[in-house]
Structure 1
Amino acid sequence: MSIRAIDEAPLNPFHRKLTWACAGGPFLDGYLLSIIGVSLVGMTNELSLSTGEVSLIGAAALVGIFVGGLFFGAVTDRLGREAMYTIDLAVLVGASVLSVFVTDSWQVVILRFVLGVAIGADYPIATSLLAEWVPNKHRGRLLGVLILAWYIGAAAAYVIGFVLAEIGGPDAWRWMVASSAVLCAVVLLMRLGTPESPLWLVNKGRTAEAQDAIKSALGRTVPIEELLAASAAEQSVVQSRVRDLFKGVYLRRTLFCGLFYMCQITPMFALLTFGPTILGSFGLGEGNTSHLGSALISIVFVLGCLPALRMVDRIGRRPVIVWSFALMAVPLAVLGGGSSVPVAVVILCFCTYALFSGGPTVLEWTYPNELFPTGIRATAGGVATSISRVGAAAGTYLLPISISRLGIGATMLIGAAITLGGWLVSLLWAEETRGRTLAETSAPPGAATRPSTPGEGRRTDLQDGELERS
């Protein structure tokens, strides 16, 4: 099922506004996950936190993201993108405000878990809403912008944390937490008035509302008969049940999205942790200035994503992800030389990895939204996020243990092996989805869908429905 008024629409101010509004969630995610690291210095002193309590605070958000992604993607598919969009941001605002007034470690742990749940829920909410509104030929690039917002949010957290610490010292940690509450409120205001996804409305049989949403956002009137035919076509083809993710071709796609995401993010978390050590050679590895070094790391990864944003829509998803994983493994293998590797080579490897990691990074949220139908699209995105966080949590927890017992060289070689695992998964299972409608990309291989050639593009949606039912 596809709606040509959306698939073939030119980019307009609505698309840009929606992209910025959806990017607000990932921006907050990067900010909230990073500002806690800056504020923990002062928080530890004031609340007399033990090492175990600090670890719990750090892990609480990751556990929350796992839970939020796993369960609330399905809720989003049931209740709608726009409704969950607002609820999710309201929870982020509330938990951020309450974090300013904490007086004990258990309160911090609970609030960080709640924030993590909201963050994990936001990934499938924002990405599915944007994917279902943007035109085919711009979908990969605009979804990739969302992941850029995550890194920008992380960089902003370190810069703001640095400024507040310079002004107020460690005691400024409550102001740091308060800054996240203000930003959450701003993003919530940006999202007010965002229309519901027409694809979700059509999937639920609410065709009149879908027609109104398209007219309001794009200025196009789609005949109600076309929307009714599109709704019938999807209902006849897709059984929108969570268990469909774990059957047939959708099981393979679920494993692909989750595993490549995990193989990409696990070494990346390790390298982000290793990064401050590298930057220490420039005097940015100690004290408050280390926050500026961490901000620089995030910016380097942003720069790595920029070329990938264009390539995914120009040369395709499959070549970008396959070649990126292969090239990402090379600098990690070189870093396997450990402390004997010259500093200049270490820095070059870091920058090279960041550059090539842009491919899988911008596809983290593109593939789950393209490979699954409307009824389970957000669910699939949430499951992929949850699988990836298993690797992120494991990498974060095991990295210091691996460095102390095996050494930095062996640790980097393990990262290279994991990256090659992502390459193998992509080589075997990555599909090409560039320039195709969501109906075409989410259909099982060999299923009859509307051809996207210019000559056949004038086929009516009613004919599409009959074709898909045949």
Structure 2
Amino acid sequence: MSRFHLRITALTFGANFSDGYALGGIGIVLTVLTPAMGLSSLWQGILGSSMLVGVLVGSVVCGWLADRFGRRLVYQLDFIVIAVASAAQFFVDGPMWLLVLRLIIGFGVGADYALGPTMVTEFVPTRYRGGLLASLTVMWTVGYVAAFFIGSWLVNLSPDAWRWMLASGAIPALVVLLLRIGTPESPRWLIEKGRIEEARIVSARFLDGTLDIDKLASESSPAEPARYRDLFSVKHRKNTAFGIIFYNCQVIPYFAIYTFLPAILVLLGMEDGFSSGAILNIFLLFGGIAGLWAIAKIDRRPLTIYSFVIMAVTLTIVSVGTSWPMGVVVLAFAVFTFVMSGASNLDQVYPAELFPTRLRATGVGFLNGASRLGSAAGTFLLPVALSAFGLTATMLVLVAILVIGAVCSVLMAPETAHLSTEELGAH
């Protein structure tokens, strides 16, 4: 593994950090905006889920564009959108403009979700692929945790401090934008398009010639343009179906719970919401780090199955334990948080490993988009469900989603941990 492999991974951290920071920030900001703007539970759900809808569109559209026209251009330019829209949040004067800007931010993040894992998969050696892809999700967690602590401190400084909290997302976006200047095109995509000499130049300049261009070219033929219908062909439809179900069952409970964590803690009877939230955020961070070890040591299929089972059991305890000793509920919530964070590392690993090079960005983009459709619906409905049905019934619905994920993984999950980049999606 070379310094360039680490660089391309580090440059991909940006979307994950920005996504986590923006979603963690809106949860804190809504606690201030709700009374200030008189937001209904409907508006809270709309604003909480709006960025996820943008991610859906950005992933689907830009993933297809990247397979058609190359990874490099979109990978370099999407952070212009994120930086400008993030900074513009400072000037909003009502929920409608905030909704529009968060949809735009989501579009930029979604574009990078399709491109980032694709770039890492196509540049790094097989033995390091899982760990480096998993590290992208850890950066989502870092962004979310950073937003919790920064937002909790910032929003209490003045009535308009929420503006600074939202606009601060422009800072990491600008840094990533500048650092990405000069990023090369994926040599594997170039080979798929028959541009062998360009791939040879990229390999020589950035990979010290370690990628065997002649061997890859001899095993490949110029591919037909990527089409979304190919994801549902006989060869790929099982992996596509698994990816949709697995990804949604991971992110619907995650995004719904942690976007509205302060409100859930209050319903659980945790009077000191900041202390309880801080504990859970620490478990969230350390769970993500522990997940890197799990990705390196445990194959994809068993890790997916067992994590769903543990999450379903612990969230059940949280759901029905409102009359139990608070220590039991907090412990179960902490274990759920730890395992959820670690297992979510698979969200960046599995999608990139389910499809061949010619369909990879399209497939990753489609699965990211499909997952954000589910998570947006869950995040939109959570405050409405909490208001209408209460905490226990709402949490048990999320438990059922986790059980579906476990069953789907038992029946459909492929093992991709030890396949080379050229073997991915071929089975």
Share of identical aligned residues, percent? 39
Select 1:25's aligned residue among 15, 18, 42.
15
1:5-404 equivalences under 5 Å are: 11-40=1-30, 48=37, 50-51=39-40, 53-166=43-156, 168-220=157-209, 225-232=214-221, 235=223, 240-272=226-258, 275-276=261-262, 277-278=264-265, 283-285=271-273, 290=274, 294=277, 296-358=279-341, 360-404=343-387
- Whether the aligned pair in 2 keeps the contact of 1:155 and 1:294 (CA below 8 Å) is no
1:25 shift after superposition:
1.3
Moved more, 348-357 or 251-260: 348-357
Deviations 1:98-143 (A, max 9, x none): 2223344432222111111111221111110111111111111110
Select 1:413's aligned residue among 380, 390, 396.
396
Deviations 1:162-216 (A, max 9, x none): 33334x3121223223311122101112222222211111111121121111112
1:264 shift after superposition:
1.4
CA 1:339–1:438: 2 relative to 1, 3 Å: same
Deviations 1:397-439 (A, max 9, x none): 3333444444433333322221110011111111111122022
Give the alignment's Cα RMSD to 1 decimal.
Answer: 2.5
Q: For the residues of structure 2 that align with 1:25 and 1:295, how far apart are their CA atoms?
A: 24
- Whether the aligned pair in 1 keeps the contact of 2:319 and 2:391 (CA below 8 Å) is yes
CA 1:438–1:222: 2 relative to 1, 3 Å: closer
Q: For the residues of structure 2 that align with 1:410 and 1:105, how far apart are their CA atoms?
A: 29
Q: For the residues of structure 2 that align with 1:75 and 1:109, how far apart are their CA atoms?
A: 26
- Whether the aligned pair in 2 keeps the contact of 1:318 and 1:432 (CA below 8 Å) is yes
Moved more, 128-137 or 32-41: 32-41
Normalised to the residue count of structure 2, the TM-score between the two structures is 0.91
CA 1:115–1:271: 2 relative to 1, 3 Å: closer
Unaligned stretches of 5+ in structure 1?
1-10, 446-470
1:246 shift after superposition:
1.1
Letter in 2 for 1:385: N
1:438-449 equivalences under 5 Å are: 438-443=421-426, 445=427
Normalised to the residue count of structure 1, the TM-score between the two structures is 0.83
Name the count of aligned residue pairs. 424
CA 1:221–1:316: 2 relative to 1, 3 Å: closer
CA 1:78–1:417: 2 relative to 1, 3 Å: same
1:27 shift after superposition:
0.3
Unaligned stretches of 5+ in structure 2?
none
Letter in 2 for 1:254: T
1:254 shift after superposition:
1.0
Q: For the residues of structure 2 that align with 1:65 and 1:239, how far apart are their CA atoms?
A: 23
Letter in 2 for 1:31: Y
CA 1:35–1:334: 2 relative to 1, 3 Å: closer
- Whether the aligned pair in 1 keeps the contact of 2:77 and 2:177 (CA below 8 Å) is no
1:79 shift after superposition:
2.2
Q: For the residues of structure 2 that align with 1:131 and 1:228, how far apart are their CA atoms?
A: 18
Deviations 1:21-73 (A, max 9, x none): 11111101111222233344666677x46435554433322221221122221
Specify the SS of the correspondent of 1:436: coil
Moved more, 66-75 or 393-402: 393-402
- Whether the aligned pair in 1 keeps the contact of 2:351 and 2:363 (CA below 8 Å) is yes
1:393 shift after superposition:
2.2
